[in-house]
């Protein structure tokens, strides 16, 4: 299994540009998440989804949008990129079943620089 | 507000020694905790978890201890190896559904030969 796949791995954006960070998982996990990680910091939750068609805001949602049309895919959209959005973005998924652990499976990250 | 924090930003140990990484949490209602390992340039990787009805849980070379009285969590790594060098995060499951986790800022573990 590939697990959680994120693309692209690196991207440089100019201020005001837009882009979509792609995330796909092949584990049939119901729950998916987007986190950002600033240098020397922990991960902050941007958005999450508990299933296709259902999304909700996390701790730092401003400047971002998400959609979840399928169980597998959870893209993150940046509109009007700002330097404050320079960060490493991680997508993750987890199973819904409480009998299993809540540990996430993370993607390898997208390093985004806004100049 | 609620938070998960780590005591030490950097921990240096000699190869072969045991490592202890600490974490404090403030939400007394938290019922599930996870430790993650993040190597440079990679996503966090699950190490071990523990539920609040347990005091201790052991894995392969790792042990997590939970002290609910003082709201403290620790990760012990036995016989630390160079491959253990990484940033370690504790995470706390928060309420509201969706299995959401709140992460601490991380501890950098450096293994010296």
Which residues, 6+ apart, have CB-to-CB distance to A33 below 8 Å? A45, A47, A48, A49, A58, A91, A92, A93, A94, A104, B100
Collapse the DSSP code of A96 into the 3-class scheme (helix H, G, I; strand E, B; otherwise coil) and give the result.
coil
Number of domains in chain B: 1
B13: containing domain: 4-89
Does the residue B33 lie in any domain? yes
pLDDT confidence band for B3 (50 / 70 / 90): very low
Number of domains in chain A: 1
Predicted local confidence at residue A98, as pLDDT: 62
pLDDT at B8 over 60: no
Predicted local confidence at residue B4, as pLDDT: 56
| Contacting A residues, span 65-104, partner chain B, CB-CB under 8 Å | 90, 92, 94, 96, 101-104
Tell me which residue in B43, B46, B97 faces A108 most closely, judged by beta carbons.
B43
- Neighboring chain B residues of A56 at a CB cutoff of 8 Å: 98
Return d(Cα A50, Cα A60) in angstroms, integer.
18
Does the residue B104 lie in any domain? no
Residue of chain B whose Cα is closest to the Cα of A104: B46
Return d(Cα B86, Cα B83) in angstroms, integer.
8
CA distance A35 to chain B (A): 10
Taking the Cβ of residue B56 and every Cβ of chain A, the question of whether any pair is shorter than 8 Å is answered with: no
User: Could you check whether the bond before residue B85 is cis, i.e. omega within 30 degrees of 0?
Assistant: no
pLDDT confidence band for B90 (50 / 70 / 90): very high
- Neighboring chain B residues of A96 at a CB cutoff of 8 Å: 99
Residues of chain A where predicted confidence (pLDDT) is lower than 50? none
Does the residue B99 lie in any domain? no
CATH, residue A86: 2.60.40.10
Beta strand B32-38 pairing with B56-58: unpaired
DSSP A73: B
CATH, residue B60: 2.60.40.10
pLDDT at B2 over 80: no
A88: containing domain: 4-114
């Amino acid at each position: 299994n590939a697990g959680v796949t994120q693309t692209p791995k690196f991207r440089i954006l100019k201020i005001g540009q837009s882009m979509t960070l792609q995330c796909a998982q092949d584990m049939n996990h119901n729950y998916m998440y987007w986190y950002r990680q600033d240098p020397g910091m922990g991960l902050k939750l941007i958005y999450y989804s508990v299933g296709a068609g259902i999304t909700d805001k996390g701790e730092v949602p401003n400047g971002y949008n998400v959609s979840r049309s399928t169980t597998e895919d959870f893209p993150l959209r940046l509109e009007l990129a700002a330097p404050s959005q320079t960060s490493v973005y991680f997508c993750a998924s987890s199973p819904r079943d409480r009998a299993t652990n809540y540990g996430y499976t993370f993607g390898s990250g997208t390093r985004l620089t806004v100049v | 507000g609620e938070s998960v924090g780590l005591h030490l930003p950097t921990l240096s140990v000699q190869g072969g020694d045991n490592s202890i990484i600490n974490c404090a949490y403030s939400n007394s209602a938290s019922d599930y905790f996870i430790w993650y390992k993040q190597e440079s340039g990679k996503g966090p990787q699950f190490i071990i978890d523990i539920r609040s009805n347990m005091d201790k849980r052991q894995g392969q070379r790792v042990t997590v201890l939970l002290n609910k009285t003082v709201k403290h969590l620790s990760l012990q790594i036995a016989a630390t190896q160079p491959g253990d060098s990484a940033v370690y995060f504790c995470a706390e499951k928060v309420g509201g559904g969706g299995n959401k986790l709140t992460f601490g800022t991380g501890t950098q573990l450096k293994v010296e030969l």
